A = this chain, B = another copy of it.
């Protein structure tokens, strides 16, 4: 399989996932004449949608910059990429958990939702780590444009975000607020990692 086809397929999955997320944004149950109150009470659905749209958007940008590092791909890269896409499609589930539990605001349920989200995020970062590792062990797949030093620096990024998500999971047991902060922080960290990567690689 050619690299361009893997990218096109992945782009498709990203585009579909980021768009179907909005389908959780349904008309609320409301009494005739009281739609406004029902719409306002739906703010958690919007909040969870914004978070996941941002997260998937950054993952998409990251995925592209990552695959611009490849000169060619082999079968294992293909399988690792499918594993990564699998992990990313799962985001749909904790996003829904988050918007539901934020509406009722019960502490134990919120912990379940935030920990689920962080576990999926941890899994996603793990698949990025696996791809980086594989690329490091197979320099023949690497594009000549990327310097070894830069690559060594970048490849620690998934590890760093995994630590943040792990801390978020642990923190949520004691304080939902701190856990949530770390989770959102981890996603913002991805954003900075992307800016960092895109500045150094000329694609």
Hey, which bits of chain A sit against chain B, CB under 8 A?
Answer: 1-2, 5, 7-9, 11-23, 25-27, 30, 32-36, 39, 50, 53, 57, 60-61, 64-65, 68, 75, 78, 82, 85-86, 89-90, 92-93, 96-97, 100-101, 104, 106, 108-109, 112-113, 116, 195, 198, 203
Could you list 26 A-B pairs, sorted by A, with CB under 8 Å? A1-B64, A8-B8, A8-B11, A9-B14, A9-B60, A12-B15, A12-B16, A13-B15, A16-B19, A17-B19, A17-B22, A18-B89, A20-B23, A21-B89, A22-B93, A23-B92, A25-B90, A32-B104, A32-B106, A34-B109, A35-B97, A35-B109, A36-B109, A36-B112, A39-B97, A75-B198
Interface of A is mostly: helix
Alpha-carbon distance between A35 and B107 when the two chains are bound, in angstroms: 11
Residues of chain B within 8 A (CB-CB) of A20 are 16, 19-20, 23
Question: What is the distance, in angstroms, from A8's C-beta to the closest C-beta of chain B?
Answer: 6
List of B residues within 8 angstroms of A89 by Cβ? 18-19, 21-22, 53
Q: A27-B97, A32-B104 are in contact. List 20 more A-B contacts (CB 8 A).
A: A1-B68, A1-B203, A9-B15, A16-B19, A20-B23, A21-B89, A22-B89, A25-B92, A25-B93, A27-B96, A32-B106, A33-B108, A34-B108, A35-B101, A36-B108, A39-B112, A39-B116, A50-B86, A53-B89, A75-B195
